Amino acid sequence: MPRDVDPRLLRGFVAAAEELHFTRAAARLYVAQQALSRDVRRLERALGATLFVRTTRQVQLTPDGERLLPLARRVLAAHEELGAAFTAPRALLVDVNTDGPGTGRTVLERARELAPECELMARFESGLTHAAAEIAAGRLDVSFGYADGLDPALRAGLAQCPVRYEPLAVLLPEGHPLAGHRAVPLDGLAGESVYAGAGNPRTLEWTGLARELFAGRGIEVAPPAPVAMGKEEFGRVMAKTGNPVLVAVDFPDMPGCVKRPLTGPVPLSPLSMVWREGFGHPGLDALCAAAAGLAAEHGWLVPAPGSWTPSGSHPAAGAGESKVSRRSSGGDRG
């Protein structure tokens, strides 16, 4: 048994063991598949053991691989804990989706009050599918969104806590027949094409939620449109396409548009806060405390009777409890 094993080799082994697919594992680590395969062979030579059985159809762990997996996880956790113990917490990068009001921004501002010594930096990634990949790659720390709608491969490496059952609304171009309503019943959108990010690879979870909400109601998901950056461009594209847009009720106001809550039933998006599994940071502790406090104050985690939620979503026990795993103290402090 060698005295020293490069943690990078163990990290590659764990990713391959969890994915049982070298291409997916390499993508998760943002390395080339050939580089990952080379690292696994180096580890096998160092240990004098075969860790995987690979065929053209599948990848399986050998008994030695099964034996190594929990040991490798513990070594990596200890390695990260050691680094954290002698490293001052860096700025925490928090994606709040849009540069404007919203649930994520509200949680962030409360967390800044709870932990003024921490630097919590806002980011605006616009789409949890993209943000989750950035978290996995270490370029982002925390994000908010419909986590249950993520691809399972993306969700596998994330911890999450429920924050809010967020009511949905529709953004309408001024002059639209429904713009004069104080609220828009879902049935009123029958025959409409409503934009929900179709064609945008950053927002696949949002498009999936919209498809489920619209199914059987005569509402179509609008075809892909150019992804607009900034309020002025957004308003211009809306005016050009004329399509309503599915948004959260706290979505920022846009020029040339009116926002109306949806009713009959009120559709809710189960909003979660997500971060990398095993990650630890005092700013993350503050965010969890902020989410729990706001949810208790405003009843964010109590869906109204008769409201609509996506299939597979369940009423949460409380903010701060992870649906994927409980976040242990310590961990990776970045």
Does 129 reside within a domain?
Answer: yes
Q: For residue 116, say if its preceding peptide bond is cis, omega within 30 degrees of 0.
A: no
pLDDT of residue 141: 96
Assess if residue 324 is contained within a domain. Answer: no
- Report the range of poorest mean pLDDT among 61-70, 157-166, 167-176: 167-176
250 lies in a domain? yes
Same domain, 193 and 256: yes
Same domain, 142 and 177: no
- Asked if 324 and 155 count as a contact pair (C-beta separation under 8 A), the reply is yes
| 85: amino acid identity, one letter | A
Q: What is the number of domains present in the chain?
A: 3
Residues 159 and 173 in one domain: no
Write out the two tokens for 141.
Answer: 């720390």
Verify that 70 and 147 share a domain, yes or no.
no
Same domain, 177 and 159: no
Would 318 be classed as within a structural domain?
no
Question: What is the three-class DSSP state of 294?
Answer: helix
213 and 244 part of one domain: yes
More confident: 226 or 30? 30
- Kindly state whether residues 75 and 13 are assigned to the same domain: yes
Residue 319 lies in a domain: no
Radius of gyration of the chain from its Cα atoms, rounded to whole angstroms: 22
Strand runs (DSSP E) across 51-157, as ranges?
52-54, 59-61, 92-95, 120-123, 142-145
Q: For helices 282-298 and 103-114, what crossing angle results, to 10°?
A: 120
**234 pLDDT tier (thresholds 50, 70, 90):** low
pLDDT at 274 over 60: yes
Higher-scoring residue by pLDDT: 239, 90: 90
Q: Which range has the worst mean pLDDT, 83-87, 101-105, 114-118, 246-250?
A: 83-87
313 within some domain: no
| Contact yes or no for 228/256 (Cβ under 8 A) | no
- Kindly state whether residues 154 and 173 are assigned to the same domain: no
Choose one of 52, 85, 118: the last residue of a domain.
Answer: 85
| pLDDT confidence tier of residue 134, bands split at 50, 70 and 90 | very high
Task: Tell me which of 58, 85, 112 is where a domain ends.
Answer: 85
Alpha carbon 254 to chain centroid distance? 25
Domain assignment present for residue 322? The answer is no
Q: Do 143 and 275 share a structural domain?
A: yes
Strand, coil or helix: what is 179?
coil
Of the three residues 67, 85, 103, the one that is the final residue of a domain is: 85
CB 247 within 8 A of CB 171: yes
Query: Is 325 a domain residue?
Result: no
5 or 299, which is more confident: 299
Do 228 and 81 fall within a single domain?
A: no
Which structural domain range is residue 141 located in?
Answer: 92-165+269-298
Q: For 16-25, what is each residue's pLDDT tens digit?
A: 999 999 999 9
Quick check: pTM over 0.75? no
Query: Does residue 137 sit in the same domain as residue 112?
Result: yes
Statement: residue 149 has pLDDT above 50: yes
Candidate from 127-131, 253-257, 297-301, 329-333 with smallest mean pLDDT: 329-333
Residue 323 has pLDDT above 50, yes or no: no
Residues 103, 172: one domain? no
CATH of the domain at 61: 1.10.10.10
Give dist(CA 132, CA 142) in Å, integer: 9
Q: Give the domain CATH number at 135.
A: 3.40.190.10
Q: What average pLDDT does the chain have?
A: 86
